[in-house]
């Protein structure tokens, strides 16, 4: 899903007033050296937009399937990511500092938006560590923002942290069928760890998720 697709959905989802507010704010964010407008706007968005789930048209659904899948996002979530997509990236150091600043002070829904935006940030390799930190989160919606329909982890994570993501998904009872790349990135180390996990579950007389067996077979 491209910037123009996202913009089109936002334009028809927001009131004229909200749209004017957001565009004016984004211009300020683009123009500023520091992060004052960015931090304020990022937090402020849900008060001006709306928290309903976006409604997508046919062609947008197929665009969604290819890359960024926004089909179950709320409008404020989408607006936040739209803002992030327009953040000037001519200076890498400044760019990283600005986005890191948002992560550091984020509340729960902001974290969801920030992690779901991993595929759209500039300098993709720079976010590997942040993604790994997110996998350590204990907040369900944050984990889902990284795990569900997010192409970033499969594309950029090294094997060890990819395996942590998959293991954590089983451990926290997530719907693993929503993880992009789960079968493509099968590997021996993951398979062995999952075998141990299955034995541990059985020793504790607990059920074993059937999807696990697909990843054990190589």
Partner 1 sequence: MCCNENFQERSEGEKIQTSLDLNDVNGMKFFDPHVHMTSRTTDDYQAMADAGIVALIEPAFWLGQPRTGLASFTDYYSSLIGWERFRSSQFGIKHYCTIGLNSREANNEALAEQVMEVLPNFIFKEGVVGIGEIGFDDQTAAEEKYFRLQLDLAKEAGLPVQIHTPHRDKKKGTQRSMDISIEQGVAPHMVIVDHNNEETVKEVLDRGFWAAFTIYPFTKMGNERMVEVVKQYGSERIMINSAADWGISDPLAIPKTAALMKKSGISLADIELVTYRNAITAFAQSGQINESDFTSVGPIDQSQKFESNSILRGGQQPRIDKNSIIIS
**Contact status, residue 5 vs residue 63, Cβ threshold 8 Å:** yes
Smallest gap from residue 171 Cβ to partner 1 (A): 6
Task: Please give the size of the binding site for partner 1, defined by CB under 8 A.
Answer: 28
Secondary structure letter of residue 75 according to DSSP: H
Give CA–CA dist 154/128, Å, rounded. Answer: 11
Stretch that binds partner 1, among 34-42, 46-54, 85-93, 164-172 (CB under 8 A): 164-172
**Contact status, residue 163 vs residue 187, Cβ threshold 8 Å:** yes
Residues 49-108 that bind partner 1 (CB under 8 A): 104
Nearer to partner 1, 6 or 157 (CB): 157
Backbone conformation region of residue 149, classed left if phi is above 0, alpha if psi is from -120 to 50, else beta: left
119 is written with which tokens? 């595929």
| 207 sits near partner 1 (criterion: CB under 8 A) | no
| 168 sits near partner 1 (criterion: CB under 8 A) | yes
Nearer to partner 1, 27 or 160 (CB): 160
| 197 sits near partner 1 (criterion: CB under 8 A) | yes
List the one residue from 11, 34, 136, 214 that touches partner 1 (CB under 8 A): 136
Q: Which of 179, 68, 64 is nearest to 118 (CA)?
A: 68
Between the two ends of the chain, the Cα-to-Cα distance in Å is 33
Q: Which of 148, 166, 106 is nearest to 130 (CA)?
A: 106
| 200 sits near partner 1 (criterion: CB under 8 A) | yes
| 199 sits near partner 1 (criterion: CB under 8 A) | yes
Give contact residues for partner 1 (rule: CB under 8 A): 104, 132-133, 135-141, 143, 160-161, 164, 167-168, 171-174, 193, 196-197, 199-200, 203-205
């Amino acid at each position: 899903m491209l910037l123009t697709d996202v913009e089109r959905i936002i334009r028809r989802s927001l009131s004229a007033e909200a749209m004017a507010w957001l565009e004016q704010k984004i211009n300020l964010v683009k123009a500023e050296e520091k992060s004052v407008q960015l931090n304020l706007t990022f937090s402020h968005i849900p008060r001006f937009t709306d928290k309903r789930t976006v409604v997508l048209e046919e062609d947008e659904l197929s665009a969604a399937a290819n890359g960024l899948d926004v089909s179950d996002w709320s409008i404020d979530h989408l607006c936040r990511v739209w803002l992030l997509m327009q953040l000037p990236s001519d200076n890498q150091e400044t760019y990283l500092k600005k986005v890191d600043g948002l992560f550091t002070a984020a509340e729960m829904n902001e974290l969801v938006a920030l992690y779901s935006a991993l595929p759209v940030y500039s300098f993709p390799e720079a976010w590997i560590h942040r993604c790994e930190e997110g996998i350590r989160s204990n907040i369900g919606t944050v984990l889902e923002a990284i795990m569900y329909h997010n192409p970033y982890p499969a594309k950029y994570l090294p094997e060890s942290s990819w395996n942590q993501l998959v293991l954590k998904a089983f451990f926290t009872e997530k719907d693993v069928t929503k993880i992009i790349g789960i079968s493509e990135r099968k590997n021996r180390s993951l398979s062995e760890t999952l075998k141990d996990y299955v034995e541990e579950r059985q020793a504790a007389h607990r059920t074993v998720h059937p999807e696990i067996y697909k990843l054990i077979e190589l």
